[in-house]
Structure 1
Amino acid sequence: MINELQALTDDIGAVPKAPEMDADGAYSTHDYYQTFGSWNDALKAAGLDKQAALIDELERVGAAIGEIPSTTQIDERSRYSSGMYADEFGSITDARERAGFAKPERAQSSEQSSQTAEVTNKSTLESNSDPTQKALIKEIQRLDHTERLFPYAADMNSQGEYSAYDCQQMFGSWDEALAAAGIDKRARLLKELRHVRDVVEGAPKTIDMDHHGNVSASMYGNFFESWSDAISHIEESHSSASGNDSQNHGKSRSGSRSGGSTNIEGETLRWEDIPRSGRLPSQIAIQVKKRLRSQSDRVHDRYLVQDVDGTEFEIKIWDKHEIMVDWEPGAWYVLSEARGTVWESDGETKRLLDSTKDLVVEKYHASTEGVDR
């Protein structure tokens, strides 16, 4: 059972949630409760650091939006719910502090208070102009110390002279800000992966990274397609990575098709069939309603769509999947190998679709009459 939990962690590149075991694992969560007493105890027995995974994910969300994540933003953007953070850390505020988004207040002497007031007044006078690109880059480079592989957005918020939001406004995202400062996040992640491989003398698992690495395995699941995808690039040097990127740029993925004609035959899934976490078991037909504004540099496109019953929901096309499809409002498409996400917000069940590297998109030209489940 421990091996299965570790294998599932490797597959998804992150510490799994209990429903993910029910959906994709060989055992049920009931089996783990019976054996270990709770899901958290099962994670501990498998050597998985749940708190580290939660913090990494919170930092990722903060970097994506360029500000301290609100409860709503956590529920909408994080793979872990705000309730999970509150349960694990005592409150959302405590979780944010652990991630470095907020610093605890310290008592100050009257002299310190006076000095602080002077600095505040000076900052207020100088705050009419936004920080320059040069100033932001210099500050990011200052934060690039040896304790971390690279600076986090939370480091800028807690230790920097500026905010991660300033960097997002200037460069578009935190990762792009790192690149502008000459920090190659991909190369450093792969170097650390090779280091752990050498320590364990073999292909590392997520538990190996959590025990021996300078970052948690969940960061690889967020940056790459999955933990397995990160492993596949372990020998990749910075120069070869750049070459591959230039060769692949602008090419559509094999298997992602548009413009052809297909028939919707047999069963097609509906909104209520979208799984909590994992790939859809079969195809789903959707009609594009309108394009939505993308709120993350990692998301290439967002669309409001509806299923054959007219139920509306959202689909996200992630930039890293390079899905080259001309999504036309009003047109119908049949999707295979899409991933589902389900969460609860204000007592209401929310569902959406995400692209995957294997997503297949076929445009459907006929009407949807006669489509059956």
Structure 2
Amino acid sequence: MDLEKPAAPSRQPEGCLVVAVRLPVRIVVLVLVVPVRMVWDALVAGGRLLRDTVLRPFGRALLWLGRAVFVWPFVALWRYAVVPAGRALGWLGHVLVVVPAGWLYRGVLTPLGHALLWLARGAGAGLAWMYARLLCPVGRAVAWLLTGAGAVLAALGFGAYTAVAWLARYLIAVPARWLYTWVLAPAGRAVAWCARGLGRVLGLLVTGAGLALYWTARVLLVLPALALWRWVLAPAGRFLGFLGRELADALGHAWRVAGRISRAVGRALGTLFRWILVEPVRWVYRTVLTPVGHVVRDAVLRPVAAGLRAVGRVTREALATARDTVRQTRAEFRRMLFGEPRRPEAVDRREPTAHDTRTLGRSTTALTKD
């Protein structure tokens, strides 16, 4: 098991030209980036303070206002108007449409459909009987007659057909075959041989012209462009890439260093602000406002709260007494108008009472009765 720490990747050695270019670039970039980073950090801190103290409470207030203006009225309208109206319309639709439609389907359409189905089955059976008993025999007879007529016509026209076929063979087919074999085929082969020769000649000409154009373009365009790329553009690109990498590294390093400087300046300003404003306000709050607030709470607010609680208690008791009085008055008025309410009649229970309950020491059945 290898317990040795793996070696860090080795960096390529850098020359004096790289160091001579890197140090001035980093110094210049640091001088230019530090003010930008400090302004950026100040803007970030101000944006966070604005977000936490203004925008977030304002957004919450807007959210609550939007709910109060747009969401809650529509929810109340849906819950207390649309849903009851929909239920009422559904009940009316069920009573006025579904129930009559079901009755119409069960009492009218179903018997009518059964009757139509019975009639269709009867008509189908009649048509099947007509097809099997009438149409099939007639069709077989017609087919037999047509077969016989065809055989007679074939027997009569066989000789004429043979003569016409012999004439067509020796007047058309044999001369056409001879013309194709001894005239058209040799002419076609000659034309094809000439076309192949002409194609080869044209191919040789095109190939020679292409090779000439290729070498002309290579000598006049490709080789100068290759030399320009290899000896001019590639070294210039490498140098520009080196400058770009060094500039990017310098910007990153300067941004990080400027961040540390900005953080130190911010902490110094925060400490100064705390000692100038925050600590005096805190001392005033602890030594002056807190004792005054305790005195006001103990001398004014607590007696006032106790008095308000006593008033509320007396008010609740008065309201409870008034409700009891109103309830009794309503009961007396109902009794005066309608009389005493009917009391429930006693029901004769079949179970034994408490004095005549069954016990293990007494015989209460017909078999063990004394």
TM-score (norm 2): 0.12
Which one has the bigger strand percentage? 1
* Bigger relative CO (Cα 8 Å, ≥ 6 apart): 2
Larger Rg: 2
Which one has the bigger helix percentage? 2
TM-score (norm 1): 0.12
